[in-house]
Amino acid sequence: MVCVRLETPSIHFGVSHVFLQLVRRLAIVVFIAAVIGTYLLMHPFAGSSATVTSGFYLDVGASSSLGFQPTGIPKHNGHRTDTGYANDVVNYLSTKGVDLQLRQIGCPGETVESMLLSGDHCYTLPQRQLLTAEQFLQANHDAVGLVTIDLGFNDVRPCLNTAVVDEACVAAGLANVTRDFTPVLAALKSAAGPNVHFVGLDYSDPFLSKYLQGGIHVAVATRTLQVMSTLDSDLVRLYHASNIPVANVAGAYQLDNRNPVSLKGVGVVPLNVARTCQLTWNCAGYPFGPDDHPNNAGYRVIAAAIEAALPAAWRG
């Protein structure tokens, strides 16, 4: 008879060893999942599949940041509306499951220089819009938020809203932007928490409406376009130097597109002129125009440019 001896102890040892390996691997997986979950909790928009969340939207700037439009009342300088680009962005994000509480602190006429140094008519010194923005961001340091910056246009607006371009005024305005904008951006970013996304705006040229007057005004319109293009280049450079993405408003308005198109009631004009008439009040007749603010359609175009500059996760 042949006796066969089963080595059961070695079998038991092998099973136990495999079991322990599985337990260890499971523990590692659980640990990694916990780390990822904690990160996503602390950075709710960081992932590509962000869930419904909430936060704030701080809207910094001048009258356009408040959705200003003319009232049609003679000698009235317009009023803020709830159909501005900030309202449009909030409504858009709500459809993506992102609920932002809008805080608008802009002041009509605000310039980069007044933002940093001299103050404006909306705030009593030492309080300024910049200080208000810093205080808000510090108070909401741990929150998710969006900040849009709409500054620079008023630094050159008085130079262009004239019969001819005031070149000395243009030079001074552009110099002020170059000198003062970086400190403004630095102050805002320094006050903000890690979950705040900034978007800067560049500009269209509402004064292209001068083209419709013909004659010498065509040359004036050409010059205002050159000035606004220079301003936009300066703003984009300064925003990018501060690692802030830019909403391409100039591109959305097709600022550099001079292809001839037919404009109702006018005739053939360059496309950038037609877009100015379609998206602002500057071609409108009395008592609503001329007014260089966007109309509802214009604000919606600006909002779309801002939305394109938001993180992909916010846009769903």
Is residue 289 within 8 A of residue 276, CB to CB? The reply is: no
Cα separations in angstroms, 175 against 155, 246, 314: 9, 20, 36
Q: How many domains does the chain have?
A: 2
Is residue 62 within 8 A of residue 279, CB to CB? The reply is: no
Please indicate, yes or no, whether residues 34 and 85 belong to a single structural domain of this protein.
no
Please indicate, yes or no, whether residues 215 and 308 belong to a single structural domain of this protein.
yes
Please indicate, yes or no, whether residues 16 and 83 belong to a single structural domain of this protein.
no
Please indicate, yes or no, whether residues 70 and 195 belong to a single structural domain of this protein.
yes
Would you say residue 4 lies in a domain?
A: no
Please indicate, yes or no, whether residues 169 and 28 belong to a single structural domain of this protein.
no
For residue 219, the domain's CATH number is 3.40.50.1110
**Structure confidence by residue, pLDDT tens digits, 254-298:** 999 999 999 999 999 999 999 999 999 999 999 999 999 999 999
Residues of the chain with pLDDT under 70: 1-52
Would you say residue 58 lies in a domain?
A: yes
Please indicate, yes or no, whether residues 23 and 121 belong to a single structural domain of this protein.
no
Would you say residue 1 lies in a domain?
A: no
Please indicate, yes or no, whether residues 78 and 134 belong to a single structural domain of this protein.
yes
pTM as predicted: 0.84
Task: Please count the CA atoms within 13 angstroms of the CA of 306 that sit on its side-chain side.
Answer: 30
Would you say residue 34 lies in a domain?
A: yes
At residue 31, the pLDDT reads 47
Please indicate, yes or no, whether residues 82 and 176 belong to a single structural domain of this protein.
yes
At residue 117, the pLDDT reads 85
Task: Please count the CA atoms within 13 angstroms of the CA of 172 that sit on its side-chain side.
Answer: 12
Q: Which residues of 161-170 are buried (b: 16+ CB within 10 A; e: fewer)?
A: beeebbeebb
- List the domain range (segments joined by +) for residue 19: 9-42
β-partners of residue 60 are 149
Would you say residue 140 lies in a domain?
A: yes
Please indicate, yes or no, whether residues 142 and 105 belong to a single structural domain of this protein.
yes
At residue 125, the pLDDT reads 86
**Secondary structure (DSSP) of 268-292:** EEEHHHHHHHHHEETTPPTTT-SEE
Q: Which residues contact 26 (CB under 8 A, 6 or more apart)?
A: none
Strand order in the sheet with 53-61: 98-104, 53-61, 145-150, 196-201, 246-247
At residue 118, the pLDDT reads 79
